[in-house]
Amino acid sequence: MNVFFLVFFCNSVTAVKHYLEYFSTATSGFPEFPEMMGMANVDRVYVGSCSMVIHRTEPRDKLIKKFIEENAEHIRWYYVECQENQGFFNSIIDGLMKRTNQTGGKHVFQQYCGCEWDDETGKTKGFDRYAYDGEDFLRLDLQKHEWTALSEKALVTKLSWENDDSVKHSEYFFTIQCPDWLKTYLAYAREYIHRTVFPSVSLLQKSSSSLISCHATGFFPDTVDLFWMKDGEEFHEGVEKGEILPNDDESFQMSVHLNTSSLTPEDWKHFSCVFQFSGSRGNITVSLDKTKIRSNHDKNKNSARVNTGSSSRNHWGAGAALFLLVPITIWIFVCKRKNKDLHVDEEPMM
């Protein structure tokens, strides 16, 4: 199981409302799929990983390292949660399968929970929802102090969770502990989110007849735009824009594709690709030039030069790698319905 600890950042330090959100997914019957996956968001931006707690991985950012050093008890709490979450979710799936007379098959149990904090009014709000096999299952009603069954399958679970007093534990976590943690994370995040990391921008083409991709990777934050221009004006005809995707190093990547099939060689010099941060952080412009394009059909050329001792085969290796999108890992960090006291005596076994 891969689980992730928080890496703290948010969209804007000027935002009035802030959010700490956990998305959880447990699976059964998917041999090719992890049993537990997860994602945590701060201010609705994907955040980092619990693997650094379990495996004592050195954090990339000095602020994350500082947080870990200054919040040892907090990290130990997360360590225990990471260890226990898989068993907790699997037991729920097993119980649901028995109650619904399911002896096998593929099943998915999901949770969305967290809290929000208004830094202007000071008001907070918690939330906790579950789904089973794609259908709404349970919702925590903090005002009525009860679990609300969203399907008939959830009635037994609702009664069981209310009988073992989980509502009080959940109320404490989502109304007190979660908002306190969110404020702490934001305090560490404020310097972190102001950093600007410019990307590597390349022109890529799978074959001579394919679209030409302008690919930017390694940038931060994700408030950017990437577009084609013709004679200094933004160009949209024959252009396909991809989504901004996370890399595995807390940076982002994006591509925008241009159809050049109807362009003459003379037309090429009028086009350029522009990477642009929002605000006035600066731009990167790459002219549409055939000599700058990295393409799959270059592989044969470079392979032919291997025996001559040319270093171009290394150039091909770097270029080909850019065609492979960095895998988007969305592993889940789980909010359990039973909150534990923050103090944990057990030391992480790392």
> Residue 26 is part of a domain; what is its CATH number?
3.30.500.10
Is residue 62 located within the same domain as residue 144?
Answer: yes
Is residue 185 located within the same domain as residue 218?
Answer: no
Confidence at residue 83, expressed as pLDDT on a 0 to 100 scale: 72
The pair of structure tokens assigned to 183 is: 């404020």
Is residue 188 located within the same domain as residue 210?
Answer: no
Does residue 339 form part of some domain?
Answer: no
Is residue 285 located within the same domain as residue 266?
Answer: yes
**Blockwise average pLDDT, block size 10, the chain, 350 residues:** 40 66 86 74 60 55 71 76 78 88 87 92 94 93 93 90 83 92 81 79 91 95 93 93 88 95 91 89 89 73 35 26 27 36 33
Residue with tokens 């770097």, as numbered in its chain:
318
Is residue 221 located within the same domain as residue 158?
Answer: no
Does residue 7 form part of some domain?
Answer: no
Residue 115 φ/ψ, nearest 5 degrees: -155, 165
Which residues neighbour 79 within 8 Å (Cβ) at sequence distance 6 or greater? 53, 54, 344, 348
C-alpha atoms less than 13 angstroms from C-alpha of 342 in its C-beta half-sphere: 12
Is residue 22 located within the same domain as residue 166?
Answer: yes
pTM exceeding 0.85: no
Does residue 77 form part of some domain?
Answer: yes
Does residue 91 form part of some domain?
Answer: yes
> Residue 292 is part of a domain; what is its CATH number?
2.60.40.10
Domain coverage including residue 211: 200-321
The SS3 of residue 282 is coil
Is residue 159 located within the same domain as residue 253?
Answer: no
Does residue 333 form part of some domain?
Answer: no
Confidence at residue 148, expressed as pLDDT on a 0 to 100 scale: 95
Helix, strand, coil % in the chain, rounded to nearest 5: 30, 30, 40
Is residue 105 located within the same domain as residue 231?
Answer: no
Is residue 206 located within the same domain as residue 167?
Answer: no
Does residue 87 form part of some domain?
Answer: yes
Confidence at residue 45, expressed as pLDDT on a 0 to 100 scale: 61
Is residue 188 located within the same domain as residue 204?
Answer: no
Does residue 242 form part of some domain?
Answer: yes
Confidence at residue 249, expressed as pLDDT on a 0 to 100 scale: 77
Does residue 8 form part of some domain?
Answer: no
The answer to whether 153 touches 132, Cβ cutoff 8 Å, is yes
Domain count along the chain: 2
Is residue 27 located within the same domain as residue 114?
Answer: yes
Is residue 137 located within the same domain as residue 28?
Answer: yes
The SS3 of residue 238 is coil
Confidence at residue 48, expressed as pLDDT on a 0 to 100 scale: 46
∠206-211-215 over CA atoms, to 5°? 75
